[in-house]
Amino acid sequence: MSTSAASSPRRLTRKGQETRQRIVGAAADLIFEQGVARTTIEEVRAAAGVSSSQLYHYFDDKPALVRAVIEHQSDVIVGGQETFDLSTLEGIRTWRDWVVQHQRETSCVGGCPIGSLGSELAETDSQGRDQVAAGFKRWEASIRRGLREMHAQGRLSSETDPDALALALLAALQGGLLLTQIERDTTALEAALDAMLDLIARRS
């Protein structure tokens, strides 16, 4: 097995794309449940229902698979974020309620799929850390687009910096998710998001 950082780009058939996505999905679930270090290639292979040769056809090594998982989790989170209209206070409140409800439905287990990867990889895998950082930048940009639109439409005061506000909202979310995971209670998450909503409302 190669020790290269990532798999070489390959043109895939539709069936190949489906197989690759099944592998990534299985790896994402296992890594979310038990972390990168404790998840083995064999566990991923078994969960995805593929042979070793199939798995290594798509991924040169475990780091390449982990990076595919980071990309997958970023796609899922940003895609979910973009189903909400963050250009209005009402839309942000709707998103806030969804985030809190999702944590309740999962019993506050697991934390943030991107944040947990970042915590595990930050000091051990510089390429993985960079990719997690890129995922957070995508997430921040999704929030920023809504707040910039809110600002452009005059729904935020002219002196408000929507970019700084977007970063603060993401930071509040991450801190709230971490405490919610540790305490198995959404109180901290609700407090963090409500404080940001109050700030946005005061600047509306």
From first to last of its 204 residues, what are the pLDDT tens digits of the chain? 333 344 445 678 989 999 999 999 999 999 999 999 999 999 999 999 999 999 999 999 999 999 999 999 999 999 998 899 999 999 999 999 999 999 999 999 999 999 999 999 999 999 999 999 999 999 999 999 999 999 999 999 999 999 999 999 999 999 999 999 999 999 999 999 999 999 999 998
Per-residue model confidence (pLDDT) at position 1? 36
Q: Is 191 domain-assigned? A: yes
d(CA 110, CA 123): 20
Assess whether 118 and 162 both reside in one domain.
yes
Say how many domains are in the chain: 2
Q: Are residues 46 and 99 in the same domain?
A: no
| Residue 131 domain boundaries | 67-202
What's the pLDDT at 7? Answer: 45
CATH code: domain of residue 42: 1.10.10.60
Residue in 189, 141, 187, 186 with CA at minimum distance from that of residue 167:
141
Residue 39 within a domain: yes
- pTM of structure: 0.87
2 within some domain: no
Tell me: do 185 and 93 sit in the same domain: yes
Is 27 in the same domain as 88?
no
Shared-domain flag, residues 178 and 77? yes
Predicted local confidence at residue 46, as pLDDT: 97
Does the residue 1 lie in any domain? Answer: no
Q: What pLDDT, on the 0 to 100 scale, is given for residue 10? A: 63
Predicted confidence at residue 12, as pLDDT, reads 80
Long-range contacts at 96-101 (CB < 8 A, ≥ 24 apart): 96/193, 96/194, 96/197, 99/173, 99/189, 99/193, 100/186, 100/189, 100/190, 100/193
One domain, residues 38 and 120:
no
Res 124: pLDDT = 92
- For residue 74, what are its two tokens? 């970023």
The answer to whether position 35 is within a domain reads yes
* Closest alpha carbon to 95 in 8, 170, 202, 15: 170
Domain of 193, CATH number, reads 1.10.357.10
Token match 């040169």: residue? Answer: 60
pLDDT for res 204: 86
Domain boundary among 43, 60, 77: 60
Residues 32 and 87 in one domain: no
Give pLDDT, residue 172: 98
The pLDDT value recorded for residue 5 is 40
Same domain, 55 and 105: no
Residues 116 and 36 in one domain: no
Looking at the fold, whether 51 and 72 belong to one and the same domain comes out as: no
Residues 179 and 133 reside in one and the same domain = yes
Same domain as 98, residue 165: yes
